Structure formats: structure tokens, C-alpha cells
């Protein structure tokens, strides 16, 4: 399952990130790492962006970026 497939309020564990090294570095700097627990807080109206919570930090991602993050729902 991909991160952008989660429903609002749903939590999951990050399994892997299938992205370029540049994007991976950016995500890692925000704490978006394999084995971390993430909660999807909100989608934009057109579902082009999502807001996630990792350890109390709110992060906005493009749907295209979130689609590169494989998760396992909790």
C-alpha cells in the first residue's frame, strides 16, 4: 500500500521509499524513514497534497511524493 492510499486518521509503518536519492535525502531530513510510524492527517480537496504526522511533526507532501512511499497499515 502507498502512503497516499491511507485514509485520514489512519496510521501505518513506513516499509520503503522508492525515490531518487535527492528526494530520499529530503524526506529523511524530515524524519520520513523506514520503520517510522506515520499518520495521515489530511488530504487537500483535490488530493494533490497530503499532511502527515511523524513523531509530532506535521509534514506536507505532494501526492506524487507520497505515492513513492510504501507503508503497512497498523
Position 7 pLDDT exceeds 90: yes
Query: Per-residue confidence at 46, pLDDT binned at 50, 70, 90?
Result: confident
The pLDDT of residue 44? 86
Question: Using CA atoms, how far apart are residues 43 and 61, in angstroms rounded to an integer?
Answer: 10
Position 21 pLDDT exceeds 90: yes
Q: What's the whole-number mean pLDDT along residues 25-29?
A: 95
Sign (positive or negative) of CA dihedral 46, 7, 34, 16: negative
Q: What's the whole-number mean pLDDT along residues 16-25?
A: 95
The pLDDT of residue 52? 97
Q: What's the whole-number mean pLDDT along residues 9-38?
A: 96
Amino acid at each position: 500500500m502507498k502512503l497516499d492510499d491511507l485514509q485520514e486518521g489512519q496510521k501505518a509503518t513506513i516499509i520503503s521509499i522508492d525515490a531518487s536519492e535527492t528526494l530520499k535525502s529530503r524526506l529523511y531530513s524530515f524524519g520520513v524513514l523506514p520503520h517510522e510510524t506515520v499518520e495521515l492527517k489530511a488530504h487537500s480537496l483535490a488530493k494533490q497534497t497530503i499532511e502527515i504526522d511523524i513523531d509530532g511533526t506535521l509534514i506536507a507532501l505532494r501526492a506524487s511524493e507520497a505515492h513513492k512511499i510504501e507503508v503497512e497499515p497498523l
